[in-house]
Amino acid sequence: MVMTDRQTNSIWSHLDGEAFEGPMTGQEMGFLPLIHTTWEEWLALHPETSVLSYETGFEAQYRSVTIGMPNGRFDRQLLSVDDRLRSEELILGVMEGDAFVAYPVAALEQTSGVINVDVDGVPIVVFYDAVANAGIAYSRNLDGEIANFERVSGTSFLAADSISGALWDFSGRNVTDEHADATLNFVTSYLSEWYGWSAYHPDTTIYGEP
């Protein structure tokens, strides 16, 4: 999948947000945190959420899309295939500096849902919510101090930091003090299938492997 902008007709890749053809070649878009979650969890975090209506006036342009393809279909379309994982295995890809790390969802499911690690010398924490099958990464630097995080048991995802004991939700918000208005700094991370992540980042390492 590629995209073109209407202003310059440059062509952009959708996985890393870089223009590779046209006047904007070499330019990169910024990354925003994207949370894959359930409607229940999202509504609890953001009760004033607006919902896009299906009645947009463009229904005639919509088409059905089947999500999920049999493993191996994309192997025939890629110039190179990294066989360390199955082509369509779901991973959380984390980018920090010049380092790329893939966290297989299957491996994240075996953890508490919180992993404190260093990527390219930067201390980060990976959150994984098994209920929503969602993952995201944040910096562990809290006002100049490096914190470790620990999952707190409960129905909703919460993690406590080792410095103040404050509780943080999956979106990186401090929920201990509603007036603190503190958030964790997002580290570029998103869910992807292995074939796409490894094709864009062939030097990626895999969490749990040497």
Of the segments 40-54, 65-79, 161-175, which one has the largest average pLDDT value? Answer: 161-175
Tell which wins on pLDDT, 180 or 115.
115
Q: Cite the residue boundaries of each domain of the chain with CATH code 2.102.10.
A: 40-63+73-206
Average pLDDT over residues 167-172: 92
How far apart (Å, rounded) are the C-alpha atoms in residues 99 and 117? 13
Q: Residue 74: what pLDDT?
A: 54
53 token code pair: 């209506």
pTM higher than 0.75: yes
Amino acid at 38: T
92-125 pLDDT, tens per residue?
A: 999 998 899 999 999 999 999 999 999 999 999 9
Whether residue 80 is predicted with pLDDT greater than 80 in this model: the reply is no
15-30 pLDDT, tens per residue?
A: 888 999 999 999 999 8
Cα four-point dihedral sign 20, 10, 196, 105: positive
Q: Residue 78: what pLDDT?
A: 63
pLDDT class of 147 with cuts at 50, 70, 90: very high
The class of domain 40-63+73-206 in CATH terms is mainly beta
- Check if the beta carbon of residue 10 is closer than 8 Å to that of residue 24: yes
How far apart (Å, rounded) are the C-alpha atoms in residues 139 and 155? 24
